[in-house]
Amino acid sequence: MRCPFCGHEETQVKDSRPTEDSSSIRRRRYCPECGERFTTFERVQLRELTVVKTGGRKQPFDRDKIIRSMQVALRKRPVDIEEIEMFANGIVRALETSGEPEIASSRIGELVMKALVALDVVGYIRYASVYKDFREPEDFGEFLRELEHLKAETGDKPGAA
Ligand SMILES: [Zn+2]
């Protein structure tokens, strides 16, 4: 498993155990290169979902990718892995119940941003600045207006994904 922080190829599994609801195996991993720790969840997928990237390339949906990208965005932020896991579950549920076997990667990006805005605004800004590929300072202005709008939408409902 590649380290999501530094890209190092080899990471060590420190601990493996089923999650509380037994729907997945939780693995704590350690990167000997940068010393960062992260967690992965291996889960039986109920439906096969395919992600369609910008440009049309397709790849199998990978729930772990959502968790890893959220972990990177929330690095050193006061957010528990359990909270990330809960929001990731919400995203997967939303995708699985949408009835669509193919999902645009941009749709996943939007759902991750919605989760992050509810979890931690700093993590949200980190994720969005990469995801939206900010180049100019003005890009932030529009972004912050969107943020106010999103906060208004999700602010009163902690736990809603
Ligand atoms: Zn690393």
- Whether residue 122 lies inside any domain: the answer is yes
Domain containing 14: what range?
1-44
8 Cα to the center of ligand 1, angstroms:
5
* Alpha-carbon separation of residue 86 from 20, 62, 89, 102, 161 (angstroms): 12, 16, 5, 23, 9
129 Cα to the center of ligand 1, angstroms:
22
19 and 92 co-located in one domain: no
113 Cα to the center of ligand 1, angstroms:
24
Compute the distance between CA of residue 155 and CA of residue 3 in angstroms, rounded to an integer. Answer: 32
21-63 pLDDT, tens digit per residue, is 766 788 999 999 999 999 888 776 666 789 999 889 999 998 8
- Whether residue 160 lies inside any domain: the answer is no
Number of domains the chain contains: 2
Q: Do the beta carbons of residue 110 and residue 91 sit within 8 Å?
A: no
- pTM of the predicted model as reported, rounded to 2 decimal places: 0.66
29 and 85 co-located in one domain: no
29 Cα to the center of ligand 1, angstroms:
10
33 and 61 co-located in one domain: no
- Whether residue 3 lies inside any domain: the answer is yes
- Whether residue 161 lies inside any domain: the answer is no
96 and 25 co-located in one domain: no
- Whether residue 37 lies inside any domain: the answer is yes
Please give the pLDDT value at position 59: 92
Around ion ligand 1, residues with a beta carbon closer than 5 Å are 3, 5-6, 8, 31, 33-34
